Structure formats: structure tokens, C-alpha cells
Amino acid sequence: MPVTLKDIAERAGVTSATVSMVINNKPNISETTRKKVLKIAKDLSYYPNVIARGLATRKSGSIGVIVPNLASSFVVRILQGIKSTNRDIEYTVQLFDTIGQKESEAQLFQRLSRERRIDGAILIGATVNDDELKVFADESVPCIVVARTCETLDSVYVNNTQGAMDATKYLLQKGHANIACVTTARGNIPMTDRVKGYTAALAEHNIALNQNLIFDAADDDMDAGAAIFEKILACDPPVSAVFVPAGDMVAIGIIKEAKKRGIAVPGKLAVVGFDDIPAAMVVEPMLTTVRQPKLEMGDYAINMIVDKLEGRESGIKHKELQTKFIVRESA
Amino acid sequence: MPVTLKDIAERAGVTSATVSMVINNKPNISETTRKKVLKIAKDLSYYPNVIARGLATRKSGSIGVIVPNLASSFVVRILQGIKSTNRDIEYTVQLFDTIGQKESEAQLFQRLSRERRIDGAILIGATVNDDELKVFADESVPCIVVARTCETLDSVYVNNTQGAMDATKYLLQKGHANIACVTTARGNIPMTDRVKGYTAALAEHNIALNQNLIFDAADDDMDAGAAIFEKILACDPPVSAVFVPAGDMVAIGIIKEAKKRGIAVPGKLAVVGFDDIPAAMVVEPMLTTVRQPKLEMGDYAINMIVDKLEGRESGIKHKELQTKFIVRESA
DNA sequence: TTGTAGGCGTTATCAT
DNA sequence: ATGATAACGCCTACAA
């Protein structure tokens, strides 16, 4: 039988109300009873029942982290950021993914809120569309959107457009004119923004966007990259550089396939990735890429949601983090 | 104001007890009232308050996943396994890490149990020692240990010894006699088992264990590997092969440093890793390694804990999964 | 400073 | 088949 407030109260000769106040550090308790109660609590090794407490306070003490797919290394990295600064925070993290589920993220969020499972949420939302996002604002549970911009909700994201511009401009400056662009999962905001940046950089150099130079990778892996390489190779006039907003693994796939076919990287084909994953350092040549501050995004997100829950912050806040262009060897 | 059982009861002209029974699909309810109640519930878009339910049923409906450090890709992979089969399961996953925390995993588990936050737990426990593990068995909350053997608790782990033997034997068969071994975080069970396997394989070939050939990497990354390479290079007589139970990233660091110094891999130095991470496919030469079925471990763990919680299983169960030796190019 | 009393929203045990 | 009623363990006015 677990020990309850009542057990402590009986031994201390007070009521459970008093014990409760002691446990919660409320003022106006005499030092004597405070000490006595605390001692007994310790002796009995009392732990408050958080469920009962939650029922009384109408708070669950936990934050939901909703991700599309935990298989994505990008998502994992953000989660790591969340958890690592979550250390000093009294909220518990509940993890949900929506892939292969009948519920959309919006429905899931709605349910979690109404069931009172969570006090707040962090949504990694690159794949969620605007209409869905509207649902979130209607609930009384606050939510921070990570990895995409959003008018109606707090958000923390990265300047994808600028990051893509940096990469493309770099290539342009190196003398490349025919630069291919490899996307994936087109249509989500971050990817769209990156293509925008690519386009803008070209425009600055008076180069018109050539839709035939934009390729869509089937997936975010090396095989998809290898497949895309075929298509790039077939281009006429030949392309001398590829910018790969689809992600580093695709870029690595392109590099490896190029080498296999005897195309020198970066000599014959310069390759720039997006994200900066660990493998970017192991491929040869090492991958030049646009780094996203993933841990930082998680860090901001958890801090923002907690500020909101503690009432330190209201109104909608947006935080834009900066990408960083990392020059290595592949371009 | 959220809608409650009482709200539904009033409109339906019954008591909340009846509504509760309908919601929970209890028998002995007339079709008429069942239908009526269900309709009203739907109209009002009722969601049960899980906290109140938890107080009444004395269940939280959630499983705690306790990990030492989410920064480890090994841990993440297991977590992915857990979550991906968690899809069809009605338990919620709460995530806890212990790094940088004042609580040990044992203390954390104890608190979570007593506070009634979790109904069961999965501990990724390669780093937890035997004494600590004893605490777990004392709580009434069941726990599955992943990634290490354990007498007192259910466990799912990998045959590290066999995996290491496979790797070492392969090297031996290739004619290598002076085989270095690179560990890290020595002292935890999986690592110890791997060294055992290495030793046993040598013994089968009548080679005595040479402690000077065992190196301890400072960390699980490329830099640590590069540092170890220095030491390996200095060995006399020279070593022609390295087995790296420390992990693939360390192995990759060794390969890259070797190449930088003009030592051919696998020509002059054969390298075998442990784990099989994505980067193992991108390094050149591609890494020969011992694959651990990480997703599968997570999968087993979540299934075991749920079986236990649903009362389908009692007694202590152990599940040993098999490693697989993957021959690629580095050995 | 402490006790009394009621409520948080469900479930569960009896009756009826 | 349904209704009363009492938990579940904690919090919080309000009263004393």
C-alpha cells in the first residue's frame, strides 16, 4: 500500500490539508509542524500521487512532443535538443508519432488536449499543412511549431531561404552556371523555401530558373541520390554542380554514384548538401553543406512552451534561427 | 468547459455511472440507452479525462522509457523500434534520460513508479550496474531491461560474445594473427562480453590474449578512432587487423586516419566495426561490421512490457537476439 | 496556523 | 438494466 497524505497526517496529528500545504511549500505553516511533517514524509518515503494531484490541479505536468516520423534523423536531432534542455524542467515529455496512424497530427493534438494528457505540445511540423494547423490554435493547450513558419502559432524555424541562397551563391561564385537542385517531399514549407533561395540566388546572377534542373528524390537516402545522379548525368548542357536541399544523405548518394562512374567530385561535379549530418564528415570528399541548428531548435521550443505554461509569456512568438554554410571538400 | 460524463448523463436522463459503462463497453446495457448515450457523447464531442480515469483505475496508461543518453545513436535506434511497434498499442510513451541528472536510473525509476506516473518501464541499461538493477525488482512496476543481460528482470539483449567471436574468427581466417581490439566505456556488460568473444576466438586459434593489443577509445566518435590509430601504428610487432567493439564511428575514425597516413585499408590494416550505423555504408572502404538488431530490440521490449501489463505474461523472460556479421570492404 | 468540507471526473460495488 | 454511493488521493477556499 502506497503511503498517502492521510497516512502522514495521522502520524503527525494534523489533517491532510496541512500536510499538503507543507509538501507544496505553502506559506503560513509553523516551523514545528513543517519539520515534523517533513520528517514523517521522509521516514515513510512518501511520494505524491501525480495523478491525484493532476485531477485536483487540472494539470498533467507533461508536454507532448508530436513528430511525423521518428525515423528521420532530423526529427531525432530536434528531440535530442528538447530532451537535453528539458533536464532542468519539471515537465515530463510524452512522445507521439503519427506515421502509420489513423489520426493526423491535428486530430492527435486535439485528442491529447481534450483528454487532458498534456499541458502543452511541441509539434515538429514541416509536413503539416496550414489548414491542419488551424485546429491547433483552437485548443486551450498551447503548442509550439518547430521547423516551419506559422502565423497562428508560436514557431521556431530556420531561415531555409537564406541557407539555400548561401549555398547557391557559393556555387555561382565558383563559376558554376548550370546548377541542378535536388528536392524531396516537395510541397512542404521548408523545401519550398529552399527552392526559393536557390531561385533567388540564380536571379541575382541573371540566370533564369530551369525547371528541368530540378529533380525530386524518391526518398531521403543514398539510393535515391544514386538514382538522381543518373538523371543529372543525362542533362544537356551538362551540369557542373548540384545543390541538394533534399538532405545530406541524398547528396552523399550522388557523390558516391558519381565516383563510381568516374566523375570527379568536386572536379567535374560539385555537390552541396543540406543539414549537416555526421556522415557528412565521413564521405570522401567531405560534404560541403548547409548546417541547420537542430539541437538549438529543440532547445528553443521547449523553453518557449515552458515559458508559456508558466505564464511568463503570452502572445505569439516566432524565432528564426540561422543556418550556417559549411565549406568542406565536395564543393 | 470540457464536457464530462455528468453532462452526458443529464441530457440522456441517466446517471454518470451508466454513461461510464457505455463508454467503456461494459455489458448489460440496453441497446436503446447505449445508442442514445453514444450519440450524445459524439454530439458533444466528449473525451474522457484520462487523469480522472487514472485516479479511479490506479493506472496511468503510460510506459516510461529510461535511457542513459539520448545522444547515442544506439539508444535512438532502439527508441525508434519501441515507437514503431508502439503504434498499435494503447500506452503512451514517456521519455526520460539520466545524463546530467542528479538521479540515477534506479532512483528515477523508483520515483516514477511511486508517483504513479508509469505502469511499466523499459530501461536501456547497458550502463547500469547490478546493484542498481536490484532496486528495480523491488518496485511493483514491471520493467524490461534492454541491451544487457539481467537475472532479476526481464531482458532483451544481443549475443555480444558471439558477435565478437564471429568478427574475430573472420579476421583469423583471413590470416591475421596480430589483431588489435578497441573498446570504450569498458566495464559495462556488453563491452565485456565482446572482449570475451574476441578472447575466445583467439583462444580457439591458440593465440594468447595480449593486453597490449586492447585499446580504450576516449569516446564513441571519429576523433577517438584517429587517436587510437596512432597507438595501433606504434605496435610492434605490427598489427594487421583491428576489431572495434567500441562502435562503428570509432572504426571509421581509424579507417580515415589510416588512409590519411597512407596505410591501405584493408590491404595493410583490416578494420571491423560493431553495430552497423548508416555511415558504415558511406566510408570508403565500406565498413565490415557486426550488426545489432536495434529496432528489433525495441520491438521486443515494448511487446514484452505490454504483455506483462495486460497480464498475459508473468515470470521473468529473457530474449537473446542474434547479431549478424556483415562483410563489406574494410576487412 | 490549522481544520473542515467539497470538488476534480472516473470507476466500481452494491442495491434495486 | 440502471441508480446510489462511495472511493481514488490531492488541493483549496473558507472558517475557526
| Full pLDDT tens readout for chain A, 331 residues | 899 999 999 999 999 999 999 999 999 999 999 999 999 999 999 999 999 999 999 999 999 999 999 999 999 999 999 999 877 789 999 999 999 899 999 999 999 999 999 999 999 988 898 889 999 999 999 999 999 999 999 999 999 999 999 999 999 999 999 999 999 988 899 999 999 999 999 999 999 999 999 999 999 999 999 999 999 999 999 999 999 999 999 999 999 999 999 999 999 999 999 999 999 999 999 999 999 999 999 999 999 999 999 999 889 999 999 999 999 999 9
A113 and A234 housed in the same domain? no
Confidence of residue B304 (pLDDT cuts 50, 70, 90): very high
Q: Is residue A55 part of a domain?
A: no
Residues A238 and A221 in one domain: yes
Quote the minimal CA–CA distance from A87 to chain B in Å.
7
| CATH value at residue B24 | 1.10.260.40
* Three-class secondary structure of residue B201 per DSSP: helix
Residues contacting B92, CB < 8 A, separation 6+: A94, A96, A117, B61, B62, B63
Looking at the structure, do residues A172 and A276 belong to the same domain, yes or no?
yes
Q: In this complex, which of B47, B55, B92 lies closest to A55 when CB atoms are compared? A: B55
pLDDT tens, position by position, B32-81: 999 999 999 999 999 999 999 999 999 999 999 999 999 999 999 999 99
Given an 8 Å threshold on Cβ–Cβ distance, is B93 in contact with A94? yes
In a mutational test of the B interface, the residue from A51, A65, A99 whose CB has the highest number of chain B CBs within 10 Å is A51
Q: What's the mean pLDDT when you consider all of chain B?
A: 96
* Same domain, yes or no: A126 and A220: no
What pLDDT is recorded for position B86?
A: 76
Are A229 and A197 in contact by the 8 Å Cβ rule? The answer is no
A222 and A277 Cβ atoms separated by less than 8 Å: no
A331 within a domain of the structure (yes/no): no
C-alpha span between B108 and A65 (Å, rounded): 21
* Residue B203 touches chain A, beta carbons under 8 Å: no
Give the closest residue to B125 by CA, choosing from B141, B145, B144. B145
CA distance A251 to B275: 24
B64 has which bridge partners? B94, B121
Which nucleotide lies closest to B57 by the C1' atom and the CA atom? Answer: C11
**CA–CA dist A148, A142 (Å, integer):** 17
Q: How many CB atoms lie within 10 A of CB A169?
A: 18
- Identify whether residues A120 and A108 lie together within a single domain: yes
Q: For B154, left (φ over 0), alpha (ψ -120 to 50), or beta?
A: beta
Q: What tens digit of pLDDT does each residue of A159-207 get?
A: 999 999 999 999 999 999 999 999 998 889 999 999 999 999 999 999 9
Q: Are residues B273 and B177 in the same domain?
A: yes
How far, in Å, are A21, A171, A181, B271 from residue A204 at the CA level?
66, 13, 17, 48
Q: Which nucleotide is closest, CA of B49 to its C1'?
A: C9
The packing angle between helices A222-233 and A248-260, to 10°, is: 60
Cite the DSSP H helix spans in B187-247. Answer: 189-204, 222-233
Q: A129-170 pLDDT, tens per residue?
A: 888 999 999 999 999 999 999 999 999 999 999 999 999 999
Question: Residue B214: beta bridge partners?
Answer: B181
A79, B70: Cβ pair inside 8 Å? yes
From residue A146, alpha-carbon distances to A75, A164, A177, B8 in Å are 10, 19, 34, 37
DSSP 3-state of B121 = strand
Tell me: do A196 and A248 sit in the same domain.
yes
Is B50's CB within 8 Å of A97's CB? Answer: no
Helical (H) or strand (E) element with A204: helix A189-204
Phi, psi (degrees; rounded to nearest 5) at B240? -110, -5
Among A103-107, A184-188, B253-257, B268-272, which stretch is predicted with the lowest mean pLDDT?
Answer: A184-188
| pLDDT of the residue at A80 | 97
| C-beta atoms surrounding B66 within 10 Å | 25
Helix (H) or strand (E) holding A92: strand A92-97
> If you write DSSP's letter for every residue of A162-192 in order, what string do you get?
HHHHHHHHHHHHTT--SEEEEEESTTSHHHH
Q: How far is the CA of B33 from the C1' of C6 (A)?
A: 31
Residues B268 and B313 in one domain: no
Does the beta-carbon distance from A115 to B49 stay under 8 Å? yes
Q: Do B83 and A62 touch (CB under 8 A)?
A: no
Are the C-beta atoms of residues B103 and B159 closer than 8 Å to each other? no
Query: Measuring CA to CA, how many Å separate B169 from each of A226, B247, B331?
Result: 34, 18, 12
Rg over CA atoms, chain A: 26
Shared domain for B17 and B82, answered yes or no, is no
Q: Tell me the three cell numbers of residue B189.
A: 556488460
User: In this complex, do B47 and A92 lie within 8 Å of one another by their Cβ atoms?
Assistant: no
B267 CB within 8 Å of a chain A CB: no
Q: How close B247 gets to chain A, by Cα (Å)?
A: 14
Looking at residue B126, what is its pLDDT?
A: 85
Residue A57 falls inside a structural domain? no
As ranges, strand D nucleotides with an atom below 7 A of a protein CB are 1-5, 7-13
The CATH number of whichever domain residue A69 belongs to comes to 3.40.50.2300
Segment among A83-97, B15-29, B102-116, B199-213 with least mean pLDDT: A83-97
Least Cα separation, residue A203 to chain B (angstroms) = 35
In sequence order, what are the residues at sequence separation of 6 or more whose Cβ sits closer than 8 angstroms to the Cβ of residue A126?
A68, A147, A148, A188, A189, A190, A191
DSSP symbols for B255-310: HHHHHHTT--TTTT-EEEEEE--GGGGTSSSPPEEEE--HHHHHHHHHHHHHHHHT
Residue in A with minimal Cα distance to B114: A47
| High-pLDDT (> 90) share of chain B, % | 92
Which nt has its C1' nearest the CA of B29?
D1
Provide the pLDDT for residue A87.
73
- The span from the CA of A127 to the CA of B101, in Å, is 34
pLDDT the model gives residue A86: 75
**Residue environment code for B75-87, b if the CB has 16+ CB neighbours within 10 A, otherwise e:** bbbbbbbbbbbbe
Enter the C-alpha cell of residue A1: 500500500
Give the nearest chain B residue to A94 (CA atoms): B94
Same domain, B285 and B243: yes
Residue B3, nucleotide of least CA–C1' distance: C9
pLDDT at B175: 96
For residue A11, what are the domain limits? 5-48
Q: Does A95 touch chain B (CB under 8 A)?
A: yes
Cell digits of residue A140: 486551450
Residue with cell 511499466: B120
pLDDT band at B1 (very low <50, low <70, confident <90, very high): confident
Distance, CA of A241 to CA of A178 (rounded, Å): 7
| Shared domain check, A71 and A12 | no
A329 domain-assigned: no
Domain-located, residue A93: yes
pLDDT of residue B143: 97
For Cα atoms B40, B46, B47, give the angle at the middle one, nearest 5 degrees.
155
Mean pLDDT of B128-151: 93
Distance B24 CA to C14 C1' (A): 19
pLDDT digits (tens, 9 = 90+) for B150-199: 999 999 999 999 999 999 999 999 999 999 999 998 889 999 999 999 99
A61 CA to chain B: closest CA distance, Å? Answer: 10
Pick left, alpha or beta for residue A147 (phi over 0 → left; psi -120 to 50 → alpha; otherwise beta): left
Check whether residue A17 has its CB closer than 7 Å to nucleic acid strand C: yes
Place of cell 529533380: A215
Give the Cα separation of B53 and B56 in Å (integer). Answer: 5
* Mean pLDDT for the stretch of residues B315-321: 96
Whether A115 sits inside 8 A of B48 (CB atoms) is yes
Residue A326 lies in a domain: no
Q: Any chain A CB within 8 A of the CB of B116?
A: yes
Q: How far apart are CA A304 and CA A298, in angstroms?
A: 10
Straight-line distance from CA A34 to C1' D10, in Å?
18
Per-residue pLDDT at B88: 79
- Name the closest residue (CA) to the C1' of nucleotide D3: B15
Q: What Å value separates CA A17 and C1' D11?
A: 8
Q: Which residues pair with A157 in a beta bridge?
A: A320
Phi, psi of B104 (to 5 degrees): -75, 170
Q: Which of B281, B282, B284, B330 to mutate to test the interface with A (most CBs of A within 10 A)?
A: B282
CA distance B111 to chain A (A): 7
**Number of domains forming the structure of chain A:** 3
Whether residue B20 has pLDDT greater than 80: yes
> Using CA atoms, how far apart are residues B145 and B130, in angstroms rounded to an integer?
12
Helix axes A73-86, B73-86, angle to 10 degrees: 100
In a domain, B57, yes or no: no
Task: Give residues with Cβ within 8 angstroms of B310, minimum separation 6.
Answer: none
* Whether residue B284 sits in one domain with residue B165: yes
Q: Is residue B53 part of a domain?
A: no
Interchain contact, A278 vs B283, CB within 8 Å: no
Q: What is the pLDDT of residue A326?
A: 98
Q: Nearest-CA neighbor of B86 among A122, A96, A108, A288?
A: A96
Q: Is the CB of A57 under 7 A from strand C?
A: no
